């Protein structure tokens, strides 16, 4: 249960020096300008973070994962990469948490520029839809956490879930669909399937995927 992992009381209490020791050698992030900008929600084994790390070496990123063993695996994976590639992979980390409850404890209003929800658990039964990581209520929280212009990436191999995520985003006043042109030009989009463990599995099995990529807009621009 949640009692097994510590949660910061507010974003200012999140200790950057524990997660990015080379970039924040001593104290916590109090007074530091640089903050986490990308969050991979339900990051699984961390493949996306590892790929994004070298693509955006100046950006701080975090994976959020609820399973203890999986989180430990990602920690060790990052630690090994840091050891074998000195100076690299310093900008990625992982935290064990329940993202459905604690996002506001980690990020301030408008802090994030990208959020990823890649191959989330489908929760098929109607009574379990409230457990889905994309929902009208949780989108309010994500809109709060994302900067205006920030992008939310979702992908799944479950058609019904894909339709659900797209319709939640479509109906939300703080999000608009990113145009096909922009999607094509965005170097991150291919990584949604090629860099994630789940995406690789779907590709191996020749499965279809369903993407919904949306931008956080300001209320007045809609
Ligand atoms: N995104 C990864 C990928 O594409 O390879 C992993 C996808 S996996 C199917 C979904 C992940 O979300 C699992 O690792 C699961 O433990 C995690 N998860 C589910 N609910 C969560 C929650 N409330 N908070 C954080 N992680 C969660």
Mutate to test the pocket of ligand 1, among 38, 97, 120 (most ligand atoms within 8 A of CB): 120
Q: How far, in Å, CA of 36 to CA of 99, rounded? A: 15
According to the model, what pLDDT value does residue 105 have? Answer: 97
Q: How far, in Å, CA of 71 to CA of 65, rounded? A: 6
Q: Is 63 in the pocket of ligand 1 (CB under 6 A)?
A: no
According to the model, what pLDDT value does residue 130 have? Answer: 87
Q: Do the domain assignments include residue 62? A: yes
**Count of structural domains within the chain:** 1
Residue with CA nearest ligand 1 atom 17: 42
Q: Residue 169's domain is classified under what CATH number?
A: 3.40.50.150
Q: Do the domain assignments include residue 114? A: yes
Residue with CA nearest ligand 1 atom 27: 42
Query: Does residue 2 surpass a pLDDT of 70?
Result: no
Residue with CA nearest ligand 1 atom 10: 120
Helix (H) or strand (E) holding 117: strand 112-118
Q: Do the domain assignments include residue 23? A: no
Q: Do the domain assignments include residue 169? A: yes
pLDDT digits (tens, 9 = 90+) for 121-176: 999 888 888 899 999 999 999 999 999 999 999 999 999 999 999 999 999 999 99
Query: Which sequence positions are flagged as catalytic?
Result: 121
pTM over the 0.90 mark: yes
CB atoms within 10 A of CB 134: 22
Q: Do the domain assignments include residue 185? A: yes
With a pLDDT cut of 70, the percent of the chain lying above it is 95
Residue 37: pLDDT band (50, 70, 90) is: very high
Q: Is 119 in the pocket of ligand 1 (CB under 6 A)?
A: yes
Query: Does residue 222 surpass a pLDDT of 50?
Result: no
Residue 26: pLDDT band (50, 70, 90) is: confident
pLDDT digits (tens, 9 = 90+) for 58-67: 999 999 999 9
Q: Do the domain assignments include residue 97? A: yes
Q: How far, in Å, CA of 29 to CA of 202, rounded? A: 39
Helix (H) or strand (E) holding 49: helix 47-55
Q: Do the domain assignments include residue 12? A: no
Residue 220 alpha carbon to ligand 1 centre in Å: 34
According to the model, what pLDDT value does residue 29 have? Answer: 52
According to the model, what pLDDT value does residue 95 have? Answer: 98
Residues 209-214, mean pLDDT to the nearest whole number = 98
Q: Do the domain assignments include residue 59? A: yes
The parent domain of residue 215 ranges over 29-221
């Amino acid at each position: 249960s949640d009692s097994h992992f510590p949660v910061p009381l507010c974003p200012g209490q999140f200790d950057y020096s524990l997660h990015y020791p080379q970039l924040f050698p001593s104290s916590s992030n109090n007074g530091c300008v640089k903050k986490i900008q990308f969050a991979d929600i339900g990051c699984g084994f961390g493949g996306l973070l590892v790929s994004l790390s070298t693509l955006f070496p100046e950006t701080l990123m975090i994976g959020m994962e609820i399973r203890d063993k999986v989180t430990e695996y990602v920690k060790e994976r990052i630690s090994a990469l840091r050891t074998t590639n000195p100076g690299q992979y310093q900008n990625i980390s992982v935290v064990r948490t329940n993202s459905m409850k604690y996002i506001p404890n980690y990020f301030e209003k408008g802090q994030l520029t990208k959020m990823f929800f890649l191959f989330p658990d489908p929760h098929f039964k109607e009574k379990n839809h409230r457990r889905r990581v994309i929902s009208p209520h949780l989108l309010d929280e994500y809109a709060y956490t994302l900067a205006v212009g920030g992008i939310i990436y979702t992908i799944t191999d479950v058609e019904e879930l894909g339709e659900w995520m797209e319709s939640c985003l479509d109906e939300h006043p703080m999000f608009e669909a990113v145009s096909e042109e922009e999607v094509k030009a965005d170097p991150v989009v291919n990584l949604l399937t090629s860099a994630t463990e789940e995406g690789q599995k779907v590709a191996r099995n020749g499965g279809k995927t369903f993407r919904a990529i949306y931008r956080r807009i300001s209320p007045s621009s809609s």
